[in-house]
């Protein structure tokens, strides 16, 4: 790729604090923003990162991601406006919306069985990958030699990482889980369990 991509998951959100799955636009666009702890996480991560003032920040348009992007933008005194893009919104978790976050495990088990699974009306892995990958392809067409920060959500970022490191995306949970406000290079791969990444 001709640009350098850094990935960042949003800081702790109210949904994280309450242990809820929040993925639908009607709930996530205007509600469930960052907690005070989440804001502090983002500040700390931005200060420790290599994100700089000439970085182009592209963010999911969900509130928790936009608030994260705005904090980073301020901390690094970014010279460019934040770009909002719905292609890196949270993966849609269907029937599990506003349910206990322990149901993520049910989703991930279905992912392992098939990357096209739509059980419980969850967005399939391959659909999530297609929309996120289309954003990167657009950025590749529009920019050259730019540092680009993608601010998004756990599953979206892990599915992207799996794809760009030639892992079958159904194994995205074999990657080390991206924590709240964690910054990771798209060029870096961290496996949680190498035996499942075949």
Q: Which residues are annotated as a binding site for substrate?
A: 9-16, 64
Radius of gyration from C-alpha coordinates of the chain: 16
* Both structure tokens of 61: 């348009």
Nearest to 174 by CA among 154, 195, 193: 193
Question: Is 182 assigned a catalytic role?
Answer: no
36-48 and 63-75 helices cross at what angle (nearest 10)?
Answer: 40
* Both structure tokens of 12: 């702790």
Evaluate whether 175 touches 161 at the Cβ level (below 8 Å): yes
Provide the 8-state DSSP code for 185. E
Binding-site annotation: residue ranges = 9-16, 64
Catalytic residue selected from 67, 70, 73, 90? 90
- Characterize the bridge pairing of strands 83-84 and 183-185: unpaired
Burial of residue 53 (number of CB atoms within 10 Å: 0-12, 13-18, 19+): exposed
Strands (E), the chain: 4-9, 56-59, 83-84, 147-152, 183-185
Question: Is 123 assigned a catalytic role?
Answer: no
SS3 category, 96: helix
Catalytic positions are 10, 90
């Amino acid at each position: 790729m001709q640009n350098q991509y850094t990935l960042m998951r949003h800081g702790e959100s109210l949904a994280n604090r309450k242990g809820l799955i929040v993925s639908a636009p009607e709930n996530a666009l205007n509600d469930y923003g960052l907690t005070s702890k989440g804001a502090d996480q983002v500040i700390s991560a931005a200060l420790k990162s290599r994100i700089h003032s000439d970085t182009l920040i592209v963010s999911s348009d969900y509130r928790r991601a936009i608030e994260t992007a705005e904090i980073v933008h301020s901390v690094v005194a970014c010279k460019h406006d934040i770009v909002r893009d719905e292609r890196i919104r949270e993966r849609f978790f269907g029937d599990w919306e506003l349910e206990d976050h322990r149901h993520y495990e049910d989703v991930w088990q279905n992912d392992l069985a098939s990357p096209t699974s739509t059980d419980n009306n969850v967005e399939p892995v391959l659909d999530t990958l297609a929309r996120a990958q289309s954003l990167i392809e657009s950025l590749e067409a529009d920019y050259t030699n730019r540092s680009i920060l993608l601010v998004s959500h756990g599953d979206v970022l892990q599915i992207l990482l799996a794809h760009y490191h030639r892992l079958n995306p159904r194994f995205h949970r074999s990657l080390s889980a991206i924590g709240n406000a964690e910054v990771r290079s798209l060029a870096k791969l961290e496996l949680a369990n190498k035996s499942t990444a075949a």
